[in-house]
Structure 1
């Protein structure tokens, strides 16, 4: 993946994708509506408090990279994404990437449960096959890549957390992660956003281990306590 997006760009792009599918009557979106969508408190993790200037800057950068375009034929400028077209994505692929952009790493089960408004998956296996397809995308061999070149794997599998039944998937739009289990070689430069994801994943894993150790210790103490 040659291009790396920052967290604000990812939130803006994910919000545009979501609203195009769920509220097509209000799409394309004005700047004010997009700010509200980025900062909404439901279906977002983490919840952000982006300013109008931050969203506008992200839109300008995405427009330069040909992933977003502004429509000039309205009294109020409106914005639409070109994500599916640029990356040649299917609807099921777009839905999963949108969820991962807006809510962070998730398991196939979580993705299926949260995808109903975006795309209807028949079962977990259909979610899994879509994720594997996104994880095995090949990098572009074109000598002159476009500004919006996001070729190569778009998602990666994270190591299973202690006590978890399912492994989680993360998107790679913010760069690669050392914790991801690679489906193919990935030599993308790391970004600040990817580093933050790494740290969060490590902390979550450490916390899960500590919780398991605490539960085992409490059980042991209970066994040692004299019975009344």
Structure 2
């Protein structure tokens, strides 16, 4: 067989087709994908000063072929967004992985122990959780089967590491990915809160309008990824939540119902009908009469005893 892939031969039987993926013209000159996404353009390549080798499951072969061609997530695509539904644990794991890829890239991709620490930290998390390493490993395995997470082996390291691939699955750019991370970690938030909490991600949100435009790009997809909630009583701004988990939406709906019920109960006119109000007024007048009678009786008793009434 000829050593040159794709070379012609006068005898086809002597040179059977090479089963390996054939190189694409110009692929070698394409720029490598950013270290944050963890994508690589070959079996092993330097990422953030280190070398990683991707260990792909059989379900990831197609994705690995794409990475050999130097493909990367497209910021805004005019195509149908796949529907992804996550559990509450998956939301926390993916949110934490994405956050660390921005804020602490030196520990990304992440080991299981690093994932436990990131998921259970008490700052920038709502709610605060206490996940075990077993739960994290089980969740990572399930997400690998859905191509939402990939295993990464670092030469010289004994621990298997993991990176998220949600940006690939949903074709998210850096700004969209940062917003999704904060929403996955903290639940519904206002535009102001989202801008404040993505400042350290350094994705270029210059003002609130930029955040609003990015949220709109996520909400206007064929399968919306975020949703603007109605303004709650006592709140000045609308909040946004992600739509990747029914559990999050259900929990929020319960919270809204409770807040609404309390607000309605404290509104004028919520204490009952006119007849009920009249009954309460009569009862109050009776109590005032009884108090006045007791005061007179005490004054009379104090006078008989010769003691001043204080």
| Contiguous gaps of at least 5 residues in structure 2 | 1-81, 272-310
Correspondence for 2:257: 202
Q: Does the alignment pair 1:109 with 2:192?
A: yes
Distance 1:208 1:60, change over 3 A: farther
Task: Work out whether residues 161 and 208 of structure 1, in 8 Å CA contact, stay in contact via their aligned partners in 2.
Answer: no
Summarize the alignment of residues 13-162 of structure 1 with structure 2, pairs less than 5 Å apart: 13-73=94-154, 74-118=157-201, 119-138=203-222, 152-162=223-233
The Cα RMSD (Å) is 2.0
CA distance in 2, matches of 1:209, 1:127: 32
1:193: how far off? 4.4
TM-score, normalising length: structure 2: 0.56
Deviations 1:81-101 (A, max 9, x none): 011122111111111111100
Q: Quick one: structure 1 residues 95 and 204, their matched pair in 2 at CA, closer, same or farther if it must change by over 3 Å?
A: farther
| Contact residue 162 and residue 209 of structure 1 kept, 8 A | no
Change (3 A) 1:208 1:110: farther
- Counterpart-to-counterpart distance in 2, 1:54 and 1:62: 12
Q: Deviations over 1:42-99 (max 9, x none)?
A: 0000101111111111111111110101113431011100111221111111111111
The runs of 5 or more residues in structure 1 that have no matched partner are 139-151, 176-191, 218-228
Q: Which has the higher contact order (CA 8 A, sep 6+)?
A: 1
Q: TM-score, normalised by structure 1?
A: 0.76
| Alignment coverage as a number of residue pairs | 186
